[in-house]
Chains A and B, each alone.
Chain A
Amino acid sequence: MIKYSIKILLFVLVIAHVASAANDDPKRAEEVRQMMWKDSDPEFSVTAIPNKWKDKSAVIIAKYNMLSYRKAALSTSLEYIRYNHNRIMLLDKSAIEDYSQFTIPESGTYGNIRSAFYAGFKIVKPDGREIEIPLSKAVKEELEVNNSGFNKLKLAIPNLEEGDILDYYFGEERRIVLASKYFSFDPVIFQLHGDYPVMKQKITFDVLRRCFINLKSLNGAPDFALASDHKNDKNTYTLVDEDRESIKDIRWLYPNRQIPSIKFKITYASSFAASAPTFIGEPGVLKSEVTKEETKKLVQYMFNTSSYYGGELKAYMKKHHKKEKDLNKLAREAYYAYRNINRIKNTEARLLYGKNANESSSIVRDVITLSNYYRWNDIPHKVIIGVPREISSIDDLILENELMMMIKVTTTDPFYVGRFTNHSIVGEIDESLQGTRAYQVDGVLPTPYWVLNETKVPVHNASENNTMSTYAIKVLDLDEDKVNIAIKKSVSGANRIFYQNVLMDIYDFKEEEASRFDMGEDFEGYKKSEQKKLLQRKTDYVVNREKQFNESLKAVVSNDLDLIIDEPKDLEVKQTGRFHDEPEFIYTCNTDASGAIKKAGRNYLVNIGKFIDGQIHLSDEERKERKYDVYDSYARSFEYRIEFIIPEGYEVQGLEKLENNVENATGGFTSAAKIDGDKLIIESKKYYSSNFNKKEDWPLMVEFLDAAYNFTQQQILLRKQ
């Protein structure tokens, strides 16, 4: 996932559409047809596939993505052309199913964009016959939204049989009327592996006149070669690649870090706009490196233009903490005060307006605001600038919106500020930056004096992201396979975020917040009429709140435990986990469940292993040698305490099967069981030591993952005495 942490400009698409059909300019349609089918590269004439892929569903013989961007002289519009040409051999019914129907948008004008679509389809039969399917065979599917048309053409490919080659192209020629001096296309990532193997693929770019291209080949993808056409003021970049196997979903894979791919973004900027400190480089020249200096300039620019952020925080702190001299305390208090001012004060109204009350805000804005406040008060801190680890390393940074920021406060009791949400606390580092190399600057210095140094962001260890589950189990009916479970969960670090968002709302922590900050009453500050409506919404919300939370609770408990869960109830939030001195989110609830007890004559088997949460069950295929390193989101641990009340008149056998002690460098699974009075007590722990493991260490992970899964299958005997 790409996090758009920096938005330089927002492009708003105004939709107003005049419709026509695809291929509607016959002359251009013929030119495109000629270009795709007559003037194409020799690989588009190939009819044979390698023997090694004959058992695949389909094989892509050739694939060509052609992109062109230009700003015509003296014109206020931008021309963007994209053609995608594919030649694919279909080898079974499932592939035919995938390629027997196409939907093509209709050419038309959408706001300030005029898009013309061109498409062509032909089948090459095994005997070499070529059958073209004209677009006139397509039917039009109409859609009109608020008087704007969004029609589509639907084409069913006739006469398609196993062994046929489908050769088709699809193109869009877009003319964008520029409303500003700067226009940025959405970033694109091409992965060179796909669902089907690829014999040959090519990607080309034409970049002309005042268009800028940021592009990087990643993870072993080939580089682009440049061919300059000085006469036409045109630079063409070409990537040629071949022989790529198909790839399937793999657990714990970050495709952007591991699969050969190309990421790029095209920008138009007038010479004036291009002088702003962005990453765009020279017009028409491919840019695939961003220097530390460029990164510094961009972040300086962002700080310089936001130097007024934090005024409200400053005023608040001045009013309430004027006498506080301890910078450690002041820095921490400012974080929570900012969280209150920026988020919590509006949370109740947001919730009642039906908006996502937990939505995250712009981390850039948050970092700048807090850094400004720290600088004004001489609180020593660093601003850390990095790239999310799921996107790339800082060395592969090429786009502005890949940047992410955080703060390290370097007072005598230092701490990180990495997350800005309703429930985040000081000391948290966003998992996207953990373990990455990043830049840091001294935040107290005025921006002209900044020097960017490299730093390594620490990784939270497994115990900092911990879930402690206590399940107290009472048998309700052995024959009916029914138990009652009293659940207590105490969750910290990144593990807690899901539970906080799902099982808690403002009414669980309003009082706690009000004990530290002035929360006002009954929507003070809103207009009288709005206040009345908010109170009415509140009445409605409160009446339905318990039902909603019970539904969420059922989803949570059913997700955690591999049992048939009745209706969980009595949800109680014991600790909100919203301040660093009490960082665990703690809740309790109660549920009946079945699916754990089997009868065996006079005795009963209890699938006691199911009372630790459901565990990953690796398939044989996954257990085999792993081809890719293991990227996990964060190190974490799960502790369980099971207290099973032994029904009267029975004794427990089989405890020895509940002992485990698998621990290695990648993580571990341990468990131990004992009888304590009328209770069977099991204590267990599973942990992932790191957010990354080399593929060579995968067998170590398999050891503890298998041990944990096997534990869930263990049964004890309740023997009638």
Chain B
Amino acid sequence: MPPVPFTQGSLFGEADAIGYGSGQVYDEMVNGQGRLRPHWQTFMSSLGPLDSEQMAQRWEEARRLLHQNGVTYNIYGDPNGMERPWPLDMMPLLLPAHEWKAIESGLIQRASLLNAILTDIYGPQTLTRYGRLPPSVIHADPGFRRAVHGIRVPNDVHLHFYAVDLARAPDGRWWVLSDRTQAPSGSGYALENRAVIAKVLPDSFRHCQVERLSGFFDTFKDTLFSIAPRTSAAGRLPRVVLLTPGPYNETYFEHVYLARYLGLTLVEGADLTVRDRTVYLKTLSGLEQVDVILRRLDADFADPLEMRADSSLGVAGLIEAVRAGTVVMANALGSGLMESMAMKSSLPTLCRHLLGEELRLPGVASWWCGNDAERAYVIDHLDGLVIKPAFPSLSFEPIFGAQLSAAERSALTERIKRRPWYFVAQEQMALSTAPVWQDGRLQPRPLVLRVFLCATPSGGYAVMPGGLTRVSSESGRLVVSMQSGGGSKDTWILAPRRADVASGQPRPSALAMEPTASGARPSANDLPSRVADGLYWLGRYAERAEGALRLLRATQSRLIDSNMPGATLQQRPLLDLLGSLGMIPAELARVTESGTSRGLRDALHAAVTDPDHPNSLRAQVLRLHRTAYSVRDRLSMDMWRVVSAIDRQTQQPKGRMDAASLLLRLDDAMIMLAAFSGLEQDSMTRGAGWRFLDIGRRIERSLHMVALMRGVHVADLDRQDEPMQAATLSVLLELGESVMTYRARHLTSVLRTPVLDLLLGEEANPRALAFQLAALDRHMRALPSQGVGTGTDPTGGALAIVAAARNSLERTDAMASSEALRTLLDTLAMTLPDVSNFLAHAYFSHAFARSA
């Protein structure tokens, strides 16, 4: 469908017509006369009438996509848990090509300038020596890393990835608000925003000729591989890793996302070790040298030996490896210095001096109080200024001079005078606004645009044609921050002219939802021990959740429908099991009369949804979710979606839920857990990672089966009357998902020996203990023979236990007598948990660094 030609005076011609009122500031969409700016016309036409129902549908679609893809942002100190859904507005910010060109050239100049300043400060320091920069600018800044002074970095590139926050003033010009040079975040969210909006507004996206983002990331990836200290002469690609502080970091989602998109191994500090002044990745099959580290960890935490000793996130000896030149950090350690606000007022002079050019993109006027003249100005003009920390490591909320009482003003003045170098003042800028879809209509909201740059292999800089637009939650807010509840927008840079695009080289097809794994994927044997550990526990928790769920579902269904054949009798062993597994209080499990007391109903409800109940289904699902999160880069998007769905299905309902709907919920969750298990089998490569996941599942299923058998006192079953025996065995068959098989073979009578054979001894039954043991044996023999431990044969102990368990099952008299059966089950219950301990010791025993 061709775009509807836009005509002035149409429904969208005037802002008033859509109830969009802009204020005194610059609005991105409409001009001062309330008319649509030209570069918005195609978009608005393609969007069609702003029908709130349709917009709501699109919004719902966007929300669904974001949720499915697990796009989150962690808010520190948020009681609602780690993950917060990513807030994305439906309306992109549009910028025309000519305007973008100017921004681009200004930003490239700025990146080169900041890099040149870093090169000087961490090198000869001529700027401070010859009075072009006050030395206190660097010495007062805790972000100045003395430990890395004097270390030469390859090609003098300190800044490989750089982000700038821009704002537009009422006069229409873009100004730099701040620089992000430590470990800039947001580019992954920008990618994700694009993926979602391009899906939700496909027509607009097509008609508007939007610049694609993928080329930028290809360049960045090339750069990362090109800065490796060793060439590929050795016949192998350099190993580039992304170093994350871990799942508790606010932007962990992005670390996972970018690692996948760029084809890098995601690592935490504990995955790395330094030997011989060289960084290695600890993998299951030994140490693998690391050449380049893209770091999302602040320099302060990077090396507990030379930086903060209390950091458990870093790598001891890392700086010594950097000094030796065996590894390259991107960004270089110390690059965070350029986030200093104290330096901003010197940039125009430094630009002239270092680059011989005028600074093209102005910074918001700022005054550093460490300089006498600037301080005097600040104190005289507090009213019109915002006071901010001069250095990013000192954090206090911006102080708006105009809002201070006389007493507060003089207190502030005193504070400034006492330690002037820690304060900077900025002009208070009126941010431009862009339309946000809210409450069924478009409303103007202040915005800040974050733009990203990367170093190119040839030594220059490239700008991502797009960005992360953040809007504030209220129209009058002066602070735009994701941490304080703002939203985000996709940013569309419109291609120059249609003809240019058509004649150019073919553009990459659309941006794929699944990050493209271009080039070198992390190799098969790069599984960090920590990840193996995580996958192992993922298998265990998934299986544990399934076990709990089957038990709850079996109980719940009998409580609802007591007409089910055998329902009343079967409640007995089920309640026994719930009690012995700690899911309901033991005294409730011992209730003798049938039927449902109020207390029991409540307890069962809690056993499903109470997150604070340690053995509830909800608690197991939370563990599953958290573990999945920590190894998210190893799970497919579909697996992650299933985990999210399970999480949703087991949340505590808002109101009270009746027994029938609880049962329905359990059914749904069961299907999702089955789907997860199916994806494990069908969509994971049979590498060591998969094996650890499956080992976890097999061990958990073995332990669960033994616990069920012991929980119903199967060895003492002959003391019960026959109907009770049959009821108990039927429950075991149901929990062991083997009812069908049993019926097919034995038709009606439920007898102990065939049931136990089927659930314990039969290797062909995927629910039987023997099946689990056979699988464990196979897996462990296939694992890398040398774990991180130093023992002779890491799996030897575990293999011996499994072999003994299999032998005892195969003995013909194993289940002949009650006594033999009890001994068998007791022995299994005692020895099988050690399989887990042996494996943990052999493969997961991360020795964490500590200071001495």
Q: Do A and B bind each other?
A: no
Residue ranges of B at the interface with A (Cβ–Cβ < 8 Å): none
Residue ranges of A at the interface with B (Cβ–Cβ < 8 Å): none
